[in-house]
Structure 1
Amino acid sequence: MARPVGDPPGAADGDAGFDRVAGFLTRLTRLLLRTSGEGSELIAREVTAAGGALGAEVSVLLVMDTATLTVTAPDGRARTVIVHAAPEVARLDRIAAVKPLVADVVAGRTGPVEADARLARIEAAPAPYPWWLKLLGIVLFSLGFAPLMQPTWYELGTTAVLATLAAVLAVASDRVPRLARVLPLVASLAVSVVTLGLFAGDPAHGGPVLLMLPALFFFVPGDYLSAAAAELGAGLITTGAVRLVYAVFLLVQLCVGVLLGAYVTGTSTTALFDTAARTDLPRWLLFASWTVFTAGTLLAFSIPRRFFRPLLALVYLTVAVQSAATALIGETGGTFVAAVVLAAVATLASRGPERPPRLLLVLPGFFTLTVGSLGMRGLTSLAGGHVVDGFSDLLELVLVVTAIAVGLVLGATLVPERNGGRNGERNGGRKGGREPGP
């Protein structure tokens, strides 16, 4: 195979070549770590595969926000770098762009010089959508989720107002880093004050918590909870445990914000119940809400619009499987089956460098399983003195989180991802190379 233009013979040979390889792998690790809010399963595999293709042996030690990267050249020289990055899911367009880059490196079509330049362009590229479309995306994301909480016109109307408020704060936090650190607390406080002050006067419209939840769903760490459980199940004990603690911390922030809103408005915490109102939405609107939800997910998380159709198909597939399985074996079992099917189909659909990454395919379908809202409902119910309801929600949270995590792991195991074919085998058998992780 012809060597990529601009790369010297033996990409990891010589000081300059080794520096290029180590520098590229460090930047790749940092970007993957920064976009690993949904889990760290990609990092070691992608970085190890890329390093092996460039003639270096790579080992990665991970915790949630830190990676220790060791790159070893064929002649025994080694470099160890500690990479820090706060995991997030805000810019999934970068994950979509990194996948073909790594595929080109592993296949030998791209060397470290060109790969580093492409990675720099990915990092410097602006978000695919302007700020106002992200704001609209968060609102649509919440509106699509609202009928799952309460299928009423009142729920949709209040969600439109409250989600706009939450979206303004989320967009503002992109420009004010200090706000981003306490965004869940500030957003839940603002939504709580407005809900309790304007919208929660009539119990016939449902409990205040159910009115607040759709607008706060963007901040609820259900994805972190399930990713943590999946990492624990896959043997990534340290990473999973740290992510689990962080997810609980975010949930507590949201709960504290809701309680502060009750104190500010002079509302008794006993008013924080989650009794649902009577349904008055037509069935067709419930069905269409998932299209709105998927469009909002695309805009809110900067997913390239060319992936809309496969994401929409997976969302409806997940909803259909969950509904059918729940009718047969109950909610927890239905959630488990839906997670297995989602993971298996997403893994199949992600095969090939030009296909969407598995993370992007799983994310919207995963959100339909609504894990984190149970945690917030449980905490706020406990704080409001509704002990039985609170513990019931928290117990259901544990069961559903476990069902989703085990289901995703099982689905991915049933349909394993391809690891590079012949080229992967060639790199794995070469001096200093190593087979990509599972």
Structure 2
Amino acid sequence: MRFRAGRGADGAPAAGQETGAPRAALEFVEDAAVAQADAGVPSFHVTVRMQRIATALGLPGTRVYTMPAGVLVHRADGTTAFFDADNSAAGAGSLRMDQLQELQSLLDAVAAGRTGPEEGLRRLKAMRDSPPRYGTAATLAGHALFGLGFGMLLKPTWWGLVLAAGLAVIVGGANSVVARNRAGAALFPVVAAFAVTAVADLAAPRIGMNPALAMIAPLASLLPAAAMTYAVIDLSVGQAISGTARLAVGVQRMILLAFGAYAASRLVPDAPHHTGTTLDWAPWLGVAVFCAGSLLTESAPARALPALMLVAYTTFTVQFFATDLGGPILGGFAAGVATVIAAGVLDHVPGALPSYAGFVPVLWIVVPGALGLQGAVELGEPGDHLNAVTEIGIAGMVIVALAVGILFATLTSDTVRSALRHRTATPAARRPGMSRGAQDR
């Protein structure tokens, strides 16, 4: 659904609209802005990127702003258009990874002048209409690998891995079904958290695991890692409206998950506890398994897996040593810097995901949302509440540190690239033997 301010009821341009600009160019800027909003990327990224696209298409006076419910396009003639985004929850992307890859390629081509607006509009529609790359069986296998890989990050037991993979398949499959219904999608986090926690409370102690840890991996796909990280980024750069909306959505999701988990932990009796051998080596293998699961569930092409794994292992390694050196908050900041740099370096590798999508799955590896969920559940249980509050506080600070690291690396790399482009273009702008005044003429 689209509402265009400055148009008549018949859809014809109203008085004062940009009639000098090519119609297709303006439509492409509008549709591409909505596509990026649907991808759930930070608002400041959409604003900066679309300004470059508009300038390349001869619309330098056009400004694009992302809002909680859509995109606001302000034209050079003073008219304004608002476009509803497809994603119903602010900060939650509705595009798959393969669609993000096509969108990035298209925007690069338009900005470089290799693709015109008419062809761009055609490719945007084709991207929207493209079906998922993998079938139901492969997608369910992806959910199993997602849960298995995330579970390995938590140093589980052997049976803990089986439990994580099995419950992740059920949660992922059910989520894909209820996502088509707005009411079902809103209530699903509570139901999923209740069911997973109930099973974990009954099964985890018998296989030598802490139920509060066993419940995290199956629910990892529901954690608002990207939304909360992008919320802090938007707030840091002055995008208060979109940042606040993303943060509210992320906090609401965490509250729903925590409520469902807490209710189950109070109603389900404690099971007898048995000891088990934890797999201390599992996190390093879990990164690769997690990436494979993310690729299948998000319909990314198989050729993107090596670059995705390199970004993930770079981030995980940097976070591991930074955390060992200065604690989890420093580890979160270092992980944010590392993931942006690694994704940017590999952005030009054939088959790699776009830089702003290549590090999104990696946000789960930092596990701030998992820490917060675990702390919220433990807060409602008898025992040491101070430890639970500490976990929630650390999780919040890790999210902030991660977002600051991402913002720092993004702005620094943009500044360096801009300086290098200017330095390269300056000598070429002058012809040997010509004075500055001659060139200006």
Tell me the amino acid that sits aligned with residue 308 of structure 1: L
Q: Confirm or deny that 1:225 pairs with 2:228.
A: yes
For residues 38-437 of structure 1, what are the structure 2 equivalents within 5 Å?
A: 38-56=41-59, 57-72=61-76, 76=77, 78-86=79-87, 87-88=92-93, 91-196=96-201, 198-202=202-206, 205-262=208-265, 266-267=267-268, 279-281=277-279, 283=281, 285-350=282-347, 356-386=353-383, 387-416=385-414, 418=417
1:222-248 CA distances to partner (integer Å, 9 max, x unpaired)? 222222112222222222122111101
Is the contact made by 2:304 and 2:351 (CA closer than 8 Å) also made in structure 1? no
| TM-score normalised by length of structure 2 | 0.82
Aligned to 1:8: none
Percent identity reads: 25
Preserved CA contact (<8 Å) 1:33 1:65: no
Residue deviations 1:304-329 (CA, integer Å, cap 9, x gap): 22211011011111122122222222
Give the aligned length. 398
- Coordinate RMSD, CA, aligned: 2.9
Alignment partner, residue 428 of structure 1:
none
- SS of alignment partner, residue 196 of structure 2: helix
What pairs up with 1:7-26 in 2 under 5 angstroms? 15=19, 18-26=22-30
**Which one is further off, 78-87 or 222-231?**
78-87
How far apart are the structure 2 equivalents of 1:403 and 1:78? Answer: 39
| Structure 2: gaps spanning 5 or more residues | 1-16, 426-441
Deviations 1:83-141 (A, max 9, x none): 33323255122111011211221222222211111111111111122233222212211
Amino acid at match of 1:32: Q
**Alpha-carbon offset, residue 175 of structure 1:** 4.5
- Per-residue CA deviations over 1:249-280 (Å, capped at 9, x if unaligned) read 000111122133346xx326xx69xx996543
Mapped to 2, the partners of 1:19 and 1:79 lie a distance apart of: 15
1:352 Cα deviation from its structure 2 partner:
8.3
Q: Which is worse superposed, 307-316 or 328-337?
A: 328-337
Greater Cα shift, 232-241 or 369-378: 232-241
Letter of the 1:81 counterpart: F
Q: Which moved more, 1:396-405 or 1:171-180?
A: 171-180
Q: CA deviation at 1:365?
A: 2.7
Q: 1:201 to 1:362 in 2, by over 3 A?
A: closer
Does the CA-based 8 Å contact 2:194-2:264 persist in structure 1?
A: yes
- Say if 1:225 and 1:150 are closer, same or farther in 2 by CA, change over 3 A: same
Q: Which has the higher contact order (CA 8 A, sep 6+)?
A: 1
Higher mean displacement: 315-324 or 169-178: 169-178
CA shift digits 1:1-27 (9 cap, x unpaired): xxxxxxxxxxxx985964322322222
1:361-399 deviations in whole A, cap 9, x for unaligned?
A: 212332211110111112111122441122011111122
